[in-house]
A = this chain, B = another copy of it.
Amino acid sequence: MTEPLDVRRLQRRLAEFAAARDWEPYHTPKNLVSALSVEASELMEIFQWLTPEESARVMDDPETAHRVRDEVADVLAYLLQLCEVLGIDPLVELDAKIDRNEQRFPRPED
């Protein structure tokens, strides 16, 4: 595949996947946001009983590492589908948010 792996291409894959299965009627913004929150919690479930130190070593165990990667993918999938239906570019929004945060939390040495 020569096309670079970027957010737009993943959004197209997700849109085609949903369309081919007639899942679009389920993909209201409200439902996608719920699904995003559920997937974020499934990721958190992996960490809920770990100490901070154990949480830093979570990728050392191959099976746990796979679960983490899988849930990260699910969170991103619903975030990108939500942005698609709402017409939001998440990278532009994050770039603008970091700009605002730099105003709100000035560097200590400033």
Contact = CB atoms under 8 A, between A and B. Distances in A.
Contact of A50 (B22, B30, B102): B30
Nearest to A96: B73
Interface string A80-110: 1011011110111111111001100101110
Contacts of A96: 69, 73
B58 A48 contact: no
B38 A44 contact: yes
Contacts of A79: 72, 75-76, 79
A35 B76 CA distance: 15
A72 B88 contact: yes
A91 to B, nearest CB: 5
